[in-house]
Structures are given as C-alpha cells and as structure tokens.
Amino acid sequence: MIGLTFVYPLAGLVFGAFAALSAFDRENPKRLGNAVFWGLFAVCFLVGDRLGDLGNGVLALALALIAGAGQLGVGKPRTTTSEERERLARVHGAKLFLPALLIPVTVLVGALTLKRLSVHGAPLVDPKQATLVALVLASLAATLLAKILFRQPASAPLQEGRRLMDLVGWAALLPQMLAALGAVFAVAGVGKTIGDLVAHVTPVDSRLAAVTAYCLGMAVFTMMMGNAFAAFPVLTAGVALPLVIGRFHGDPAVVCAIGMLSGFCGTLLTPLAANFNLVPAALLQLKDRYAVIRAQAPTAAVMLIVNVVLMNTLAFRR
C-alpha cells in the first residue's frame, strides 16, 4: 500500500540533494551551514522513524541551533538569470503556466480516485494519505512536463528548489515544528490549564466575557502556535466547551466555526505562520520581512471584533 513510506523517502532525497548542492556552492560563504541544515532535515524524512523521540528531539534542537546562530545564507545556484527568464517568458508565453496548473488538477483527481483503487481487495493507496500521495505524484508530473516543454537541464528543478529554500530559509520548517508543538501541548493538558485560568478570571454571569475570552484566546494562541488548527482543540476544549457551550448553551456549530475564524485573525498577525506571512516577503525579496503582517494587521483587528459580535449574536438564538 502506497502511503507515507513513499512520500517521506522522496522528500528526504530532495532535501539531501539541496544539501549536496549547497556544499559545493563556493559563492555562498555559509554553504556548510546550509548543507548541514538541509542534510539534517533530509535525515528526518529518511530515517526519522528509526531515531526515536530522543533522536528526533536532538535533531530538531540542532536545526534550531544552526538557524539561530545565523549560519544559513542565500546561495547562487547554477540557474537562469533574470534576462534569460524574460527571454524564455517571451518565447513560451502562456505555456509557462501549464506545469503549475497541472498540480491542482492532478491533486483534485487523485484525492477523489486514489483512495478507491485496490489490488486483490487491498487498497493501492492509504485512504488517509491519498491527498498527500496525489500531491507528490502531481509534483513529479509537473516537473516532467516542464522538462519536456522547456528543455531545461535535468538539474534545473533541484537548483531552483534550492534557490527557493535558501530564500525562505528556516521558516520553511515552521509548519512541521509547530504541528509537533501542538501535539505536545495536547498531551501535556495545556487546554485544561487554560480553561481553568479563563474560568477563574471570567465573570460567571457574563456571556459576552466568555465569548470574548474564546475569540481573543483563539487569536492569541494561534499567534503563539502559528497555526489555528493547532490552537483550536486546545482553546475549544478548555474554553468553548465548558463555558460558551456548556454554561451559556451556545450552538456548537456556530461557536466552533466563528472560533476557528478568530484563530485565522491571529494567523494574519504572527511571523510563526511563516507560509502565509514570511514566505511571500522572502519570495518577493521585500526589505521588510514583516511587511505582509503590517498590511494585514488592521483587517485582523476589525475581523476579530466582528467575530465577537457575530458569535454573541448568532450562537445563542435558541
């Protein structure tokens, strides 16, 4: 059955290639830091299941130490120049978008069909990982299509991938690290602790105070976690269920939907949501890496207030 055992080794080989290419990039004064960093990340994918919790913890600390010590730099991959890209854009025109458009189409089709395929009665693809497997297959198909259409060197995808990773840097690892942190918080019972704290400081008879605590807590905890999906189970179990739903009888569907949206307000305000806020700034090579957050902050503040009003109005209509 095709599942993570297919996805992880492939990802590990890609990051291993980034590490090897970085090591030989003599124009990058921090090439050794890049090589070790991406090499350790490749190890995480290749043999992480054999390292155990302690081994993976040490590996994560090593990655944080390298990034925190400022040992990552932007290299100069052997790829096309800006002038060559402009020329290729004029030559190929709209065909440049075909590989990029192939990815979402393939993922959609794969997510709907792969989980239904079977061989001798056994699933061909792990149903729980069908979307992820489809994404990997789509990426491979798009790479092959780009190779055929644009006739670039075989090393071009890896060099361009390395260039992208060098620009994004350590922020590329944040989603994986924060997901692990969310799991640790859940096991440690952080949700119950937060719930007890909020219940202690929230007025017993104030529905608005409970709603405000939940919405504001979702935003703040998302800013800390970098991911609303990681904050949601903690704050919902600790605040929404016992207070907003249990004590004041709020509609669970409305409370949870608006609560998640409140978490997304926090996503707009935190650099820990790197894929939303730091990566675009890095890709656009903005001088202010927090420019995206600054632009989003007014919208996030207004939406958070609106969410409090909506929950207090719509969740208790019964």
Question: In the predicted model, is pLDDT for residue 163 greater than 90?
Answer: no
pLDDT for res 46: 92
Same domain (yes/no): 196, 309: yes
- Residue 244 gets the label, from left (phi > 0), alpha (psi -120 to 50) or beta, of alpha
Cβ-count burial 9-36 (b if 16+ within 10 Å, e if not)? eebbebbbbbbebbbebeebebbebbbb
Same domain (yes/no): 306, 256: yes
Range(s) of the domain holding residue 310 = 189-314
Same domain (yes/no): 132, 230: no
Same domain (yes/no): 138, 201: no
Question: In the predicted model, is pLDDT for residue 92 greater than 90?
Answer: no
Question: In the predicted model, is pLDDT for residue 35 greater than 90?
Answer: yes
Region 148-175 average pLDDT: 84
pLDDT for res 318: 64
Q: What is the DSSP letter of 269?
A: T
Same domain (yes/no): 306, 199: yes
Last residue of a domain, one of 110, 139, 154: 154
Q: Are 20 and 143 in contact (CB under 8 A)?
A: no
On the 0-12 / 13-18 / 19+ scale of CB atoms within 10 A, 285 is exposed
Amino acid letter at 230? A
Same domain (yes/no): 138, 211: no
Judge whether 10 lies within some domain. no
Q: What is the DSSP letter of 118?
A: E
Handedness of CA 18, 79, 100, 170 (dihedral sign): positive
Distance CA 71, CA 317 (A): 56
Question: In the predicted model, is pLDDT for residue 91 greater than 90?
Answer: no
pTM: 0.72
109-158 pLDDT tens trace:
988 888 888 887 788 888 888 888 899 999 999 999 988 888 888 888 88
Distance CA 202, CA 192 (A): 15
| Average pLDDT for the chain | 86
Residue 66's pLDDT band, with cuts at 50, 70 and 90, is very high
pLDDT for res 218: 92
pLDDT for res 40: 94
Region 243-260 average pLDDT: 92
> pLDDT > 90: what percent of the chain?
36
Judge whether 276 lies within some domain. yes
Judge whether 43 lies within some domain. no
Region 235-251 average pLDDT: 88
Same domain (yes/no): 147, 194: no
pLDDT for res 215: 94
Judge whether 179 lies within some domain. no
Judge whether 139 lies within some domain. yes
Q: What is the DSSP letter of 248?
A: T
Last residue of a domain, one of 95, 130, 154: 154
Distance CA 304, CA 318 (A): 24
Structural domain count of the chain: 2
Same domain (yes/no): 95, 206: no
Tell me which of 143 and 195 has the higher pLDDT. Answer: 143
pLDDT for res 42: 94
Judge whether 250 lies within some domain. yes
Judging by DSSP bridges, how do beta strands 118-119 and 122-123 pair with one another?
antiparallel
Last residue of a domain, one of 108, 139, 154: 154
Q: In which residue are the tokens 């198909």 written?
A: 141
Residue 204's pLDDT band, with cuts at 50, 70 and 90, is low
Same domain (yes/no): 240, 286: yes
Same domain (yes/no): 287, 230: yes
What DSSP element (H or E) covers 122?
A: strand 122-123
Residue 160's pLDDT band, with cuts at 50, 70 and 90, is confident
Judge whether 54 lies within some domain. no
Region 179-203 average pLDDT: 72
Tell me which of 79 and 305 has the higher pLDDT. Answer: 305
pLDDT for res 150: 85
| Residue 119 phi, psi (nearest 5) | -130, 115
User: In Å, what is the CA distance from 76 to each residue of 25, 28, 120, 144, 204?
Assistant: 7, 7, 50, 24, 60
Same domain (yes/no): 195, 310: yes
Judge whether 303 lies within some domain. yes
Region 296-317 average pLDDT: 94
